[in-house]
Structure 1
Amino acid sequence: MPRQGPCGGKTTGQSRLCSFFETIGWKVFRVPECATVLMSGGVKWMEMNDNDTAVFQFQENLIKCMMQIEKTYCELAQMSTKNCLIICDRGIMDATAYMKPEQWEEMKMKNGWNEIELRDNRYNQVIHMVTAAKGAEKFYSTEHAVRYESPDVARNLDDMASQAWVGHPYYDVIDNSTDFEAKLIRMISTVTDRLGMDFRERLNVNSKKRKFLVRELPSLEAIDMAASAETKGYPQFQDFDVVHDYLATPGQKTQARIRKRGQNGNWTYTHTIRRYLQNNESAETKMHITSRDYTNLLAQIDEKHQTIYKTRRCFLWNDQYYQMDLYKEPCQERCKGLILLETYSTIPAMEPLDLPSFLDIVKEVTGDPYYSMYNLSSKVWLQNTKGKATVSHDSIPNEVANGDVHQEATSNGDHDETNGDINGLR
């Protein structure tokens, strides 16, 4: 259960964790934060803050609401034939940070609750994402739709909420000792460690994305025929339909995009906003959204960019996780037939890497702006470059980078341009 102090990265972290496990074939359920649901419906915390009776009744009803919703998701997970991960936005004990100790004691007595059951036995793991107001103040934001806390209040709430979970047998605190990207990687690592899954190479904070151009997709039959005792054939894989759209933004310091990703007509929707800061730093917020939100955001599409359609194939080969994007029409001429393979490794770019033997790799294109999805979707990018570029994927010159381009980041993340969700491996 990822939980946080105010502005701790929980929203983006849940999105990354969800994508991580969905990619390896797990079913992920995300239990919404009941307080946000109620407050977005008109409940005003400040209107009851000085009324002890109102606070008691609200928190009691809130906890009962959480219990029922969690029960529903657990029953759905039990009926699933897949491995399931249930992510709770918050847990029962978080409510104690918003009431007096004597109120909590009275509530436990009234309802026959005990902290061993509510804190220790109810959740398999608790992850506390420390507020950015502690050690990462320049990234602290008060843009939450239904809540506002000053940095001082945020630090106080963070202390109370984190203290509420002390004693849980699997309690991990993710602080701000690293940059935000590494913070998210550390969070995902605690979950995989708890499940006994070995992703040390993939989730190493020094692991970087490497990208390769693939000449063509081999047939499964040809791979099986060529496979020998020493060389594995095409491994089991998961295919996803992916659609990306970039949104119009007021300036060059902000990039926004939406994505729908799914299988068999079932979709998840993501809205990502990336803000570029000073000293080449950036902050990214990634949010799962509803299909209605997605439809509404489509009205803000940047007309300078074309919709990107891809099949994303995820597989494991020789204990290394890969994602392969097969670009689909309709698309820009330079995207037709384009296949890009990505993986993550602590081995630096351009140094030898053991790649799948059944793929015909043309060359490594890590960091090449020509293969940035942002630029591949641009309707005007090639016109704005100073050099002359050919559309042959076998011989795209690096000189094309001399123009007005978007340079792709290569830190650990999904290749949804730039630091997207980290997707996992089995």
Structure 2
Amino acid sequence: MLSEAERNLNATDGPPIFRFVFTGGPCGGKTTALARVFSYLRERGFECITCPEAYTTLSSNGMNVDFFSTQGMPKVIQRTVLEVQMALEDGIHRVLKARGKPGVMLCDRGTMDGSVYMPQKEFSELLSEMDTNIVQIRDNRYDAIFHLITAADGAEPFYTLENNKVRTETKEEAREVDQKTQNAWVGHPHFYFIDNSTDFEGKMSRLVDTLSKIVGLPSNLKRRSAKFLLKSKPDLSKFPSDIAYKEFEVEKIYLKHIHDDKSSYSFIRRRTNIDPDGRRLGSVYQSTLAQWTEDGELIEQKRIISEREYMSTSATRDTSRHVVQQRRISFLYNKQSFVVHIFQSPKEGLCILHAQVEASGKAEPEVDLPPFLEVDRRLQDTDEDKDTFGAYHLSKK
């Protein structure tokens, strides 16, 4: 007879387990953030486990900088860090699943952070040797990435390395590492910046609010995406050379309502990574449940699913709606995360720019728009704009 833990491990419809990465440049507040979020979620019924940073774990237990003097050692160390990181995360995920309750893994950095310290070609070769790729270790592994910008960028008086003895970066070096880390995670579908535009308490509150919406808890942030109608499709040749961007194909399928409940809807999504030569590198699958609260706030609970789940769930699609097909371009500009949605179906040629920003009051959040895109106007939270430009409404036949 199987034990309770074994039954939980074998279950295909168990409670959700979320994987979140906390990353960023030195002295961004990760240690405090991990502790704050851990307590917050535990108090609200989630089982939480923190996954330590693999490099720091190895360095704190005898692996020192002298090791790098051996020829070929940097690649060996980066592979070891990556393997340790993945083993720790997989083990923690197994423990949380066996527990049989809603769970959250809080990762102190993730699998892409090591790429900052290697040439891109070498990192790609390393992944190939490990029989994996960027799609698997970045997009398919984590539910969201939270980048806490270093205090050296916007909160300079508070920059210190006293809380991490293995870090030695100057402020200039910290800003450079922070930027490289941002670029390493470009392309993840849920990549959030937590900057230094407020005091540190405000920074932590914004982090908790953003994370809350993902796991389905009420949040003080009423919006995290400002939308703009573009006049035309982006011309990638006009993107500045220092703007890192990624391209994707997206298929979104809305599902039938099991109950006559108009306060919620659900969909599944396939997101395929496209390389600069047009080759498909792999797909990530996600399930989303969207619910409106009594005060009109939309909360979306997201989770990564397998290809098998995606295919079986697609059989329950809402046939009164079109399958939404899009081309998407993700990029960073001035510490902001943008995604261009280029519709292929059901409204071919429609281009909407999404900017991940924060708003806690009634005022619209400010967005520093990229000058290399032709913006028509900002879309408003009105029924008219939702009906004309929103994917949910456009999908209706």
* TM-score between the two structures when normalised by the length of structure 1: 0.46
- Hey, which of these two has a bigger chunk of strand by percent? 2
Is the radius of gyration larger for structure 1 or structure 2? Answer: 1
